[in-house]
Structure 1
Amino acid sequence: MTAAYDEAYRANAGLDGKIRRRVARLLHRRPLARAPERPMLSMSFDDAPLTAAVTGAQILEARGLRGTFYVSAGLAGAEIPMGRCAEPADYRRLAEAGHEIGCHTFSHLDCGRASGAEAEAEVARNADLLAQWAQKPVESFAYPYGDVAPGPKAALARRYATLRGLHHGMIEKGSDLNQAPAVGIEGEKGESTARYWLAKARAKTAWLILYTHDVRPDPSPWGCTPQALAGILDDALAEGFQVMTVGEAARTLGVTA
């Protein structure tokens, strides 16, 4: 599992990949019809490493908040570059505590290199397990590696209220919910980048989705420290953000699967 994940993690950086990504951004759009009435923030965790499921969740819960954990069921318990992934019991606990379990395909499929049929088969397989663990329908999706081709984008749009990418931005009226932007709080500049986008979202009364992977004192290049996560959340609360899961935020804006 880890070897396949490592191999797939190299996104197509060639000209064909850049053209495909640009075309995908233009096609199969679903614009948000209603602007937020106050600044909104959703905190999400991709791949749901155990440190995110434990430490990340605890940081949110200590503030009365909940997050969205995008899970690839095929990675449960596996060692990946961000550490060991959580297991079914951890996901059940998260769901019982009020966190959202979102779909990230079963095997962490690169939707930029897959067909629509392949992507549908992956999410259907994932959905069966996630429904058992979360005990509720899954309504939010995130593209592994943030990449997608037009075929999977069109196919998956029929199943989810939101499909999240990794390109920087915030969600306003007219934003494409089938390829929603998000901002990473990972790496050395992650904390300052998050605060930059929090300021922009507050000024424009927009919805901002932040993401990371692991949450630990010595994070991977794709993770963040507990202190960074706590500081960002505290700043958002102090600045009047409504902090909700991705699914809750979508429903607040009248968006459903």
Structure 2
Amino acid sequence: MQTSHDKVDAYEPDRTLKGKLRRRLIRLAYRRPARVKLERPMVSFSFDDAPATACVAGAAVLEARGLRGTYYFAAGLTGREGPMGRFATGEDAARLHEAGHEIGCHTYSHLDCGQSTQEATQADLDQNAAALRSWGVAAPVSFAYPYGDVGAPAKQLLAARFKTVRALHHGLIANGADLNQAPAVGIEGEDGESVALNWLDRAHARKAWLILYTHDVSDTPSQWGCSTQALERLVDGAIHAGFDVVTVAEGARRIGL
């Protein structure tokens, strides 16, 4: 995403052949294979960019069931208008943290980690960490790549800084999954709920950990978000199927990180 003083516009990461090859090859480098042995499957509900609706409607869905989620904040977006509506503020992050939700890192400027240098990535991470501290939020242990994109400089740096580093390609966190480019499944678009249900079934069958993500949560979501009703059905379905619903940080703890 590109930012002006009060408006955030949609941004398209590198879609060239070179970019596609880089994204394919980086999944083979700087890997940190997971060791997973669970008695019950786990699922984490996470929210990227922290649109205000996710912090209100999304949090309400989870809290009504005694559950908590993970919110990946890019502090440079806070309070601005974007394609998913208004982004949450530092006060929202502090409230979520106080309620027991996890606040994760999504860089400060919603940086394209596929094209940034290691120095630029480091500076952006430090700036986000400083913002979170100013909000009274603990140092984040979970990270999500903006746009799901990463190059070698950023992946190598992030591997040493966070317990989990989440991408956007579909998959489960089971034995051998790369914790430095962890798979996740989006609840977004017209088929988002059905795709998520399919992956819940797979996670249940394998007793694996599934990370679901979305952006805004409302009755009229953007193409990157989901409806409140869809989120409710997915959370209730996971509970009834016997999943442990955990934050990403708690999921990492349970697999020994």
Same topology, TM > 0.5: yes
Answer whether contact 1:117 1:155 (CA < 8 A) is retained: no
**2:130 counterpart of 1:128:** yes
Q: State the partner residue of 2:225.
A: 223
Q: Per the alignment, in what secondary structure is the counterpart of residue 143 of structure 2?
A: strand
What is the distance in 1 between the residues matched to 2:136 and 2:174? 29
Q: State the partner residue of 1:55.
A: 57
Q: Structure 1 stretch 133-142 or stretch 237-246: which is displaced more?
A: 133-142
Equivalent residues in 2 for 1:53-202, closer than 5 Å: 53-202=55-204
What is the distance in 2 between the residues matched to 1:156 and 1:62? 34
Structure 1 unaligned blocks of 5 or more? none
How far the C-alpha of 1:176 sits from its partner, in A, is 0.3
Q: State the partner residue of 1:36.
A: 38
Answer whether contact 2:188 2:225 (CA < 8 A) is retained: yes
CA RMSD of aligned residues (A): 1.2
Of Structure 1 and Structure 2, the greater helix share is in 1
- What letter corresponds to residue 108 of structure 2 in structure 1? F
Q: Per the alignment, in what secondary structure is the counterpart of residue 22 of structure 2?
A: helix
Structure 2 unaligned blocks of 5 or more? none
TM-score, structure 1 normalization: 0.96
2:9 aligns with one of 6, 11, 20: 6
What is the distance in 2 between the residues matched to 1:73 and 1:163? 18
Q: Structure 1 stretch 34-43 or stretch 129-138: which is displaced more?
A: 129-138
What is the distance in 1 between the residues matched to 2:249 and 2:43? 12
Q: How many correspondences in the alignment?
A: 254
How far the C-alpha of 1:33 sits from its partner, in A, is 2.2
How far the C-alpha of 1:249 sits from its partner, in A, is 0.5
What is the distance in 2 between the residues matched to 1:156 and 1:5? 25
Answer whether contact 1:110 1:147 (CA < 8 A) is retained: yes
- What letter corresponds to residue 6 of structure 1 in structure 2? D
How far the C-alpha of 1:132 sits from its partner, in A, is 2.9
What is the distance in 1 between the residues matched to 2:49 and 2:93? 12
Answer whether contact 1:131 1:138 (CA < 8 A) is retained: no
Q: Deviations over 1:91-145 (max 9, x none)?
A: 1000000000000000000001111221111111101111232432210000000
Identical-residue share of aligned pairs (%): 57
Answer whether contact 1:35 1:253 (CA < 8 A) is retained: yes
